[in-house]
Structure 1
């Protein structure tokens, strides 16, 4: 899929320590068939004066996923948790009255999040979105 200037996207980092994370960005320009300049919406330069811009490979970019509303999450549901300015892929492993416990395989951590910092994890493959949630879990 080719993106154009102004498209809202997410960038999937493949760098060590950031694997399993997605960051909101906007396409600034296409450099060639496989590279884009993006400007992150939540990440800033070291001096914190400007939004961070970066050259990324086309394989690291996907459109912003559509919102999927759910009644609740169930154990082992694959989710994205918003933390450290990005979305991190994990699995639901438990729940207390007001938080879900999410396990992150990439860092071998379990952290708790309120529902408003979670979303259904979706994969972008062959120009289509897919989710592993069972249909009766959606609103």
Structure 2
């Protein structure tokens, strides 16, 4: 998939310690056939004076996922929790109204998250957003089905 200049994307690094995390970024330029210069929106240069820019392989980039309203997550729902400037994949461990504790896939720790910093986890496959089969959530009065495509 080709990404355009100024397109909002997420970077999924394959590095140990930040696996299962998605950092918001903006595409600045294409480099060759499948590499891009991106500017992270939440990561900074070593001297902390400017946003970090990096050359990233196309396999580590995905578009920003669509926003899907969810009225309530249940225990064990697969979600992304926004922590330390990135979206981290995990499962709802428990709800403490109106917020959640999310067990992170990367290390099994539980993180407290405000309800507005938790989103439905979606997979980017073959140029489409798919809901993982484990997610069956009530959304806008309807029920999400396995592998439904978000509208």
TM category (shorter chain) comes to over 0.9
Offset of residue 52 of structure 1 = 0.2
1:97 and 2:100 equivalent? Answer: no
Contiguous gaps of at least 5 residues in structure 1: none
Task: After TM superposition, list the pairs within 5 Å mapping 1:1-139 onto structure 2.
Answer: 1-132=1-132, 133-134=135-136, 137-139=138-140
1:28-52 Cα offsets, whole Å, 9 max, x none, are 1110112111001111111111110
In the superposition, the TM-score normalised over structure 1's length comes to 0.94
1:70-118 Cα offsets, whole Å, 9 max, x none, are 1100111111101011110000121122321111121120112120111
In angstroms, what is the RMSD of aligned CA positions?
Answer: 1.1
The aligned length equals 138
Once residues 127 and 105 of structure 2 are traced to their aligned partners in structure 1, the CA distance between those partners, rounded to angstroms, is 26
Once residues 10 and 48 of structure 2 are traced to their aligned partners in structure 1, the CA distance between those partners, rounded to angstroms, is 21
Contiguous gaps of at least 5 residues in structure 2: 141-151
More off after superposition, 125-134 vs 57-66: 125-134
